[in-house]
Chains A and B, each alone.
Chain A
Amino acid sequence: MKTPQIKLENVWKVYQTGEIELEVLKGINLEIEEGSFVILLGPSGSGKSTLLNVMSCLDTPTKGHVYLDGEDVSLLSEDELATTRGRKIGFVFQQFNLLHHLSALENVALPAVFQSVSEEERIKRSSDLLDAVGLSERKDHTPAKLSGGEKQRVAIARSLINDPEIVVADEPTGEVDTKTGSKIMSIFTDLQKQGKTIIIVTHDLSLTEYADRVIKIKDGVLEDE
C-alpha cells in the first residue's frame, strides 16, 4: 500500500491557560492521500483550524505524531518546520494575509526569497502565476488597491510560488461574495487536476461539493466519514 502523504497518529493539542487546560484536539487519527481534495468541516471552535495548522507544520501537536511523506515532522525543530512549510506547503488564509506595503508581484514572490530562489526566477514565476489567476494587469498594485477576490487570488498565487505538493486554505471564501467564492474554488479544483493535494477548512457546507472527501470535526474529535 502506498504511504499516505499526511498521516496523523493520536494527535492531541492542549492549551494551558493558567489553571485551565483546554483540549482542542483529542487523539486525532487521520490519513490523507496525495492528490486528494479534502474539506475539513466543522463549526467554529471545533478545532478544525488547529488541526489544519498541525497538519501543515505551522503548529506542533502536544502529543502524538504527524507524518509528512513518511517523515515524522513532530520531531522537527522550528527552523526545519519553516523549511518544510516553505517547500512543500502553500498557505491561503481567510484574511488573505498579504503584506500591504508590497506589490502583488512582490507578495507572490516572497516565499521564494526564503528558499534562495534568484530574483530573476522569482519575478518570472510570480509573473506567470499572476497571469494564471487572471491578474496580469494588477501586478504592481498594492493590496489596498485590490478587491477581496483579487487579494485572494494573489494569495493563491503566492501559495504556489515554490510549487508545493499540498495547498491548505483556511476559510478561503470567508471574506468574499458567493460568485467570487466559486471562482476561487474552481482555481483549487484546477490545482487538484495538476496533482496537488488540497485541504480546505470551512464551516460552509456548500463547499463540500468540490471535495472528494469531507472530514467533519466537532469538539476536537473527528466524526465518522
Chain B
Amino acid sequence: MSKEYFRLAVRNIKKRALRSWLTILGIVVGSFLVVSLISLSEGLNKAVMAELQAVGTNIVMVLPGDGMDITAMFGGQELKNTEMEAIRRSRGVEVALEMPFTIEELRWRGRTETALIMGLDLQDGYSVLRDDMGWDVREGEFARAGRREVLAGNLVPRDVFPGLEPGDEIIVSGRRLTVSGILRSLGNREDDKSIIFDLPDYRNITGTTEGTPVAVVRIEDGYDIDLAISNIERSLEETMVRRRGDDGASFSVISSEAMIEMVENILGVIQAGIVAFASIAILVGAIGIMNTMFTAVRERTKEIGILKAVGAKKKHISSIFLVESGIIGLLGGAMGVITGLAAARFGEFILASNPNLLISIEAQAPFYLIFLTLFFSFLLGCLSGFLPAKKASQLNPVDALMYE
C-alpha cells in the first residue's frame, strides 16, 4: 500500500519538476545553513577547547575590574605592584606574572613599524610560559632573561617586518635588542603579531614601573585551586580596600576551568543563534511546501474526485499528499546535508589556507546533526502537507469530479 503512495508521489513530483525542485530548494537552504554552520562551529568549538585545554589547570588569571568586562582590559584598569605583591603573598601561589602590553614604534633595517609589544618576566615566567601556556619557538631560541633578547610572534616576519630572522636586531626607543627566536602561533592573531620583551626591558622602553591589565598565576602543585583562588581574592580585597577605599576592590580571579566554561557558554549561544536563524530559513521552506501542496490539491481536484469515486477513503487521499510533501521535505533535507557538508569542508579548506585567521578549524559533522536535520526536514514536510492533505481528503467526490 505505502509503496503505491510512494510511487504515485514520486511520479507527481517528477511531473511538476520545476515547481518541485523550487520547493525542495526552499528546504535545502535551511538545512544547508544548519549543517554547514553547525559543523563549522562544532569545529571552532573543538579547536578553541583544545587551545584552552592546553593551558594547565593550575593556571589562574587575575583581572582588574568587574568580571570579564572586555572594556576593563582596554580601559586602563591595571593591577599595580602592591596588588601583584598581594597576589604573590597569597598562600598557594607559586608564580604571578605581569603581562602588560602597549603599542610602540619599532625599527628594523631602517624600517619603522608600530606593533604590539608585551612584557613578560622571562626569569620567573620561563617555565609557566613553556610548560603551562604551551609557548614554543619555531625558529631560533627562546629569549633569555637579562640579555636584551626578544621573541617575535609567529606572524611578525610576515606582517610586520617581512623577512625578519632570529639574530636580527631591532631598535625601540633608542635601545637595541636581539630577536632570539620566532614563536609558534599562540592561538590568536593579535598575539601572533606582537613582540615579547623581558619585563625589565619593557619597563625601560615604556618608561613605566608598574601596572598590568592581567596577571597570570601558577598555583603550587597539589594546592587546591579553589582554595588558592579564595586566598588571592581575600588578599587582594584587603590590599585594594586599604589603598582605594571600600569601593575600590573590584577584580576577578578566573581558573582555566572557569574560562573553558565561559567560552563553552559563548559558543553555545553562537550555536543557538545559528540554529534559530537556520530554523527560520527552514520554516520559510516549509511554507513553500504548504503553498505547493495547496496548489497541487487544487490542480488535482478532479483526480481526487476520481480516486474517491473508485473507493479511496479520506486516509488514502491524505496519505497520497502527505507522502508527497514528506518526500519533498526529506529530499530537501538530504540535499541540504550533502551541500552543507561540502560547504563546511570548503570553509575548512579556506580557513586552513589563510594564515591570518585565528586558528585552524576542522569541520565536525556529528551523526546527530545529520540525523536531526533529515528527521526535521521530513517532519516539517509532513506537517506542511497536513492542511493541504486534509483539505484534499475532505473534498466532496461529486463536486471534485465536476471540477475543471
Contact = CB atoms under 8 A, between A and B. Distances in A.
Interface of A: 53, 58-59, 78-79, 82-83, 85-87, 91, 93, 97-99, 101, 110-111, 113-116, 119, 158, 162
Nearest to B394: A78
B186 interface: no
B313 A99 contact: no
B312 A114 contact: yes
B361 to A, nearest CB: 48
B311 A162 contact: yes
6 contacts: A58-B397, A59-B398, A79-B315, A83-B311, A114-B307, A116-B1
B218 interface: no
B398 A53 contact: yes
Given A58-B397, A99-B306, A101-B15, A82 B1 contact: no
The 4 A-B residue pairs with the shortest CB-CB distance in the complex, in nearest-first order: A86-B311, A111-B310, A114-B311, A79-B313
Given A58-B398, A97-B401, A116-B1, A82 B306 contact: no
B314 interface: yes
A79 B311 contact: no
Contacts of A59: 396-398
Contacts of A119: 3
Contact of A82 (B3, B11, B303, B311): B311
A86 B310 contact: yes
Interface of B: 1, 3-4, 11-12, 15, 302-303, 305-316, 396-398, 401
Given A97-B302, A101-B12, A116-B1, A158 B310 contact: yes
Contacts of B310: 85-86, 91, 110-111, 114, 158
Contacts of A114: 307, 310-313, 316
Given A53-B398, A58-B398, A91 B309 contact: yes
Contacts of B401: 58, 93, 97
Contacts of A85: 309-311
A11 to B, nearest CB: 15
Main secondary structure of the interface of B (DSSP, over half): helix
**Listed residue (B305, B308, B309) with the most chain A CB atoms within 10 angstroms of its CB:** B309
Contacts of B15: 101
Contacts of B308: 82
A78 B398 contact: no
A115 B313 contact: no
A83 B308 CA distance: 10
A113 B398 contact: no
A83 to B, nearest CB: 7
Contacts of B307: 110, 114
Contacts of A101: 11-12, 15
B4 A113 contact: yes
B126 to A, nearest CB: 79
B312 A82 contact: yes
A47 to B, nearest CB: 13
Nearest to A96: B306
Nearest to A54: B398
Contacts of B1: 113, 116
A34 B305 CA distance: 27
Given A85-B311, A99-B303, 19 more contacts: A58-B401, A59-B397, A79-B314, A82-B312, A83-B311, A85-B309, A85-B310, A86-B310, A86-B312, A87-B311, A93-B401, A97-B302, A99-B306, A101-B11, A111-B310, A111-B311, A114-B307, A114-B311, A114-B312
**Listed residue (B303, B312, B316) with the most chain A CB atoms within 10 angstroms of its CB:** B312
A83 B313 contact: yes
A169 to B, nearest CB: 12
Contacts of B309: 58, 85, 91, 93, 97
A170 to B, nearest CB: 9
A111 B311 CA distance: 6
Nearest to B1: A116
Contacts of A115: 311
Nearest to B404: A95
A116 B1 CA distance: 7
